[in-house]
Amino acid sequence: MMIHIDGSYGEGGGQVLRTSLSLAAITGNPISIYNIRAGRKNPGLAAQHLTGVRATATICDAEVRGDTLGSMMLEFIPGGAVKAGNYTFDVTQARQGGSAGAITLVLQTILLPLALATGDSQVTLKGGTHVPFSPPMTYIEQVYLPTLKQMGVEVEVKLNSWGWYPQGGGVVELLVSGGRKLAGVHLGERGDLQQVRGLAIATELPSHIPQRMASRAENLLTEAGFKHAIKPVREKGVAPGTGLFLTAEYENSLAGFSALGRLGLPAEKVAQMACEELLKFHQTGAVVDEHLADQLLLPAALASEKSEYHVAEVSTHLTTNAWVIEQFGLARVTVDEGEKLVTVKPLISFPFEH
């Protein structure tokens, strides 16, 4: 039975599309999405969304209508169970003249379908690895995947080349272990802050830039009384780019914060932006940062038992994603705004036969 989804619901962004695609592939349910990304300045499918659609269609032999750039309507009919395999998906091919579309968003669309499928998969993703308005690859490596590992998802990831906006050109390799059964996650208390790990990175730029970012971050974190280890690194890339990526390691949880450099923005200011985000989160006492809060909903909905976690902020990203999951009847998601507590109760156990 076709599930109809209004892409303009709630936050009206690409998250509605990504979650719908993942769940269509996993459950075998055909979907029809309209008003895709209606809440955005350039609505419809951008390069990374189109790549996500095609990648998901490839792994489950789906029949697709409306898979063109700028399309605000999509029909997606899975042709069978998700197949493990050796795949390459390149965001740059989705648009003439290339694209730095975020490959992390493609990764998050196909990861859980492949983790639940029978057999292991090798996936190469090409495009933007560290671009604005999407999770940087470093966050995926340091926060998202380690948290998913606690839930039973096994992935090895290798960043072969950094891809910044607007050129892209990044390359990431994934090794996904299939046939996983997911456990729930319980993150009620974060415990003490053990340390802040950081990466001050620059590609195709002078080495004083990561050095200055690292020094400023170290000063700010020392002032805050945090133990830290910030590493300044110069890497090869197809184009110049820079950023600071921080991971707060608490006893029971991880949280990630970052800032990207751009022309005219001093290295010290980049460091300050990332550190301020971390300090703000630390003061909330929350366990799960705002980004992980909505990224955990999907694995929690596919787990074999209830999940509960305290979030820093109840964002529209979170409530929108909860609504999409409920359209598939897989789980009941309750968000206590006062307590900032998210509870996910799965209603179906995976893996099941289509």
What number of H helices and E strands is found in the chain?
10, 16
327 belongs to an annotated ligand binding site: no
* Contact call for residues 322 and 333 (beta carbons, < 8 A): yes
293 belongs to an annotated ligand binding site: yes
331 belongs to an annotated ligand binding site: no
90 belongs to an annotated ligand binding site: no
Angle of CA points 8, 14, 19, to nearest 5°: 100
* Contact call for residues 73 and 96 (beta carbons, < 8 A): no
Residues 152 and 253: their CA atoms lie apart, in Å, by 16
116 belongs to an annotated ligand binding site: no
* Amino acid occupying residue 338: G
Q: Examine the residue annotation and report whether 4 is marked as an active-site residue of this protein.
A: no
Can you tell me whether residue 199 is helix, strand or coil?
A: strand
108 belongs to an annotated ligand binding site: yes
In the block, which residue shows the tokens 């390069």? 47
* Contact call for residues 331 and 301 (beta carbons, < 8 A): yes
What is the secondary structure of 275-337 as a DSSP string? Answer: HHHHHHHHHHT-SB-HHHHHHTHHHHHTSSS-EEEEBS---HHHHHHHHHHHHTTSEEEEEET
Catalytic residue, candidates 49, 130, 317, 354: 317
Residues 282 and 305: their CA atoms lie apart, in Å, by 29
**Residues annotated as binding site?**
108, 291-295
**Residues annotated as binding site for ATP?**
108, 291-295
Catalytic residues: 317
